[in-house]
């Protein structure tokens, strides 16, 4: 069989085997949506953040409730330390019962509740941010795993072609139509491909281990098979995405809730300068032949101004800090959105250049050099160089596609938009 026809048959066989493999493994392929749902239900970071939010929701009920009441029993003896001594023969001896209650200044409990509710909202925002962070990590790992699986497929295909090239170069050398250098160079290129396959298997194992950790799966569980990457169009403009940052970016929402909490804390600190009260009432029984005693007590707690002023100043500074944190993170998130948008837009142009120009052209050049070599008009080194060029371009295309999809995934996390 002529060399060009043999290589064409090899390419068709590889494509058919790949298609058959995809059909056989289609049942085992896990979609990104399935993994995101699994991570949301099983991830320990999300679970911890959810429990933190649920705990914070219980605080408002605690701080808005009046302090615990105090119930008192008293026994006053006359003439002896014995209990009830003098109770029947002295109007000074008595048995008393009473109750007291601390009453914070009006509005204090309400403001403390406001602080607690704002803190619960902050914990909820942190829960949402944790969900987005975990989802972003799952998406990135999924895309990276799909990229590595694709490159392993490309490298395996090229290894089979290289094996055939080595066999043909060896045959030519044995009949005096080639050189040993050609055979050795082809073997070196094949070894490079084998090395790349080994490296990518190692990288895929590392990515899969991290992905299983995010999903709370056992590390010895079956391998995760992902679907092939497909280019997602970048439809929204940069301005449209930037407008969503203030209202939908998870970190900005955390900062906004932190500022609201600090606002409530400052208002509460100002109210803490007002006095608190203790009211108590005591009934004292002195036996029936003497008149009973009734005692009402009012205590006023006056906060020290020095402490209150320091507390107000502290909360005012913390409010200013939270406002600056919000502004700084808002600017950073907008910069991140713009950077990811530029990456995604640039990669989209590159993908078009690879798909419509570089790869078809290099493939045509490879087939041309292969035909020339088969007819005895070309050199083996040109065939080898063209094959390596096609391989590198296909690997570059897979890399750029993964970078494009990763940039879109990051944009989804930054803006809350659905882009993939």
Q: How far apart are CA 287 and CA 85, in angstroms?
A: 12
Q: What is the DSSP string of 202-226?
A: HHHHHHHHHHHHHHT--TTSPPPEE
pLDDT of residue 93: 83
Residue 77 domain-assigned?
Answer: no
Q: How far apart are CA 65 and CA 102, in angstroms?
A: 11
Q: How far apart are CA 343 and CA 340, in angstroms?
A: 5
Strands 225-226 and 29-30: parallel
Residue 161 domain-assigned?
Answer: yes
- All residues at 6 or more sequence positions from 174 whose CB lies less than 8 Å from its CB, including other chains: none
HEC string of 299-365 equals EEECCCHHHHHHHHHHHHHHHHHHHHHHHHHHHHHHHHHHHHHHHHHHHHHHHHHHHHHHHHHHHHH
Residue 351 domain-assigned?
Answer: yes
Q: What is the DSSP string of 251-301?
A: HHHHHHHHHHHHHHHHHHHHHTTS-EEEEEEEEEE--TTS--EEEEEEEEE
Structure tokens at 341: 């948008």
> Residue 172's Cα: distance from chain center in Å?
57
Residue 9 domain-assigned?
Answer: yes
Structure tokens at 172: 């030519």
Q: What is the pTM of this model?
A: 0.84
What b-and-e string marks burial along 105-114, b requiring 16 or more CB atoms within 10 Å of the CB?
A: eeebbebbbb
Residue 222 domain-assigned?
Answer: yes
Q: How far apart are CA 207 and CA 199, in angstroms?
A: 12
CB-CB neighbours of 52 under 10 Å: 16
**CATH number assigned to the domain comprising residue 238:** 1.20.1600.10
pLDDT of residue 153: 92
| CA atoms in the 13 A half-sphere facing the CB of 7 | 23
Residue 79 domain-assigned?
Answer: no
Residue 250 domain-assigned?
Answer: yes
Diameter of the chain by CA atoms?
Answer: 138
CB-CB neighbours of 297 under 10 Å: 11
Structure tokens at 218: 């056992």
Tokens 């596609």: give the residue. Answer: 401
Alpha-carbon radius of gyration of the chain? 38
Q: How far apart are CA 39 and CA 214, in angstroms?
A: 6
Q: For residue 161, give the DSSP letter.
A: H
SS3 percent helix, strand, coil of the chain, rounded to 5, is 70, 10, 20
Q: For residue 74, give the DSSP letter.
A: E
Domain that holds residue 188: 3-66+107-274+305-415
pLDDT of residue 89: 82
pLDDT of residue 212: 94
How many folded domains does the chain comprise? 1
Residue 88 domain-assigned?
Answer: no
The one-digit pLDDT tens for each residue of the chain (420 residues) are 444 444 444 444 444 444 334 433 444 889 999 999 999 999 999 999 999 999 999 999 999 999 999 999 998 888 888 888 877 888 888 889 999 999 999 999 999 999 999 999 999 999 999 999 999 999 999 999 999 999 999 999 888 888 887 787 787 767 666 677 777 887 888 888 899 999 999 999 999 999 999 999 999 999 999 999 999 998 999 999 999 999 999 999 999 999 999 999 999 999 999 999 999 999 998 887 788 889 999 999 999 999 999 999 999 999 999 999 999 999 999 999 999 999 999 999 999 999 999 999 998 888 888 888 777 777 777 888 888 888 999 999 999 999 999 999 999 999 998 887
Burial grade of 274 (CB within 10 A; 0-12, 13-18, 19 or more): middle
């Amino acid at each position: 069989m002529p060399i060009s026809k043999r290589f064409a048959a090899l390419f068709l066989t590889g494509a058919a085997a790949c298609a058959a493999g995809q059909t056989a493994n289609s049942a085992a392929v896990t979609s990104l949506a399935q993994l995101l749902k699994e991570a949301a239900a099983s991830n320990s970071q999300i679970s911890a953040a959810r429990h933190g939010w649920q705990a914070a929701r219980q605080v408002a009920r605690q701080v808005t409730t009046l302090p615990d009441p105090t119930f008192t029993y008293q026994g006053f003896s006359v003439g002896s330390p014995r209990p009830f001594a003098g109770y029947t023969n002295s109007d000074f001896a008595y048995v008393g019962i009473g109750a007291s209650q601390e009453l914070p200044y009006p509005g204090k409990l309400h403001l403390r509740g406001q602080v607690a509710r704002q803190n619960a909202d902050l914990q909820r925002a942190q829960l949402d941010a944790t969900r987005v962070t975990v989802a972003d990590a799952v998406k990135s790992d999924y895309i990276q795993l799909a990229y590595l699986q694709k490159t392993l497929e490309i490298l395996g295909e090229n290894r089979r072609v290289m094996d055939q090239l080595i066999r043909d170069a060896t045959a030519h050398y044995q009949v005096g139509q080639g050189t040993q250098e050609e055979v050795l160079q082809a073997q070196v290129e094949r070894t490079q491909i084998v090395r790349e396959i080994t490296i990518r298997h190692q990288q895929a194992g590392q990515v899969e281990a991290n992905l299983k950790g995010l999903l709370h799966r056992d590390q010895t569980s079956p391998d995760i098979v992902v679907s092939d990457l497909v280019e997602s169009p970048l439809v929204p403009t940069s301005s449209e995405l930037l407008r969503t940052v203030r209202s939908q970016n998870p970190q900005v929402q955390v900062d906004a809730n932190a500022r609201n909490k600090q606002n409530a804390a400052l208002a509460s600190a100002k109210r803490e300068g007002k006095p608190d009260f203790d009211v108590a009432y005591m009934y004292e029984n002195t036996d029936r032949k003497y008149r009973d005693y009734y005692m009402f007590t009012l205590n006023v707690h006056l906060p020290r101004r020095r402490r209150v002023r320091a507390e107000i100043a502290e909360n005012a500074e913390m409010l200013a800090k939270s406002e600056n944190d919000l502004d700084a993170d808002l600017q950073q998130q907008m910069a991140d959105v713009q950077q990811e948008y530029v990456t995604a837009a640039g990669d989209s142009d590159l993908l078009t250049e690879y798909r419509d120009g570089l790869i078809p052209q290099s493939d045509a050049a490879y087939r041309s050099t292969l035909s020339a070599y088969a007819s005895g008009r070309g050199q083996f080194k040109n065939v080898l160089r063209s094959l390596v060029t096609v391989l590198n371009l296909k690997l570059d295309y897979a890399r750029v596609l993964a970078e494009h999809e990763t940039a879109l995934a990051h944009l989804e996390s930054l803006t809350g938009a659905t882009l993939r």
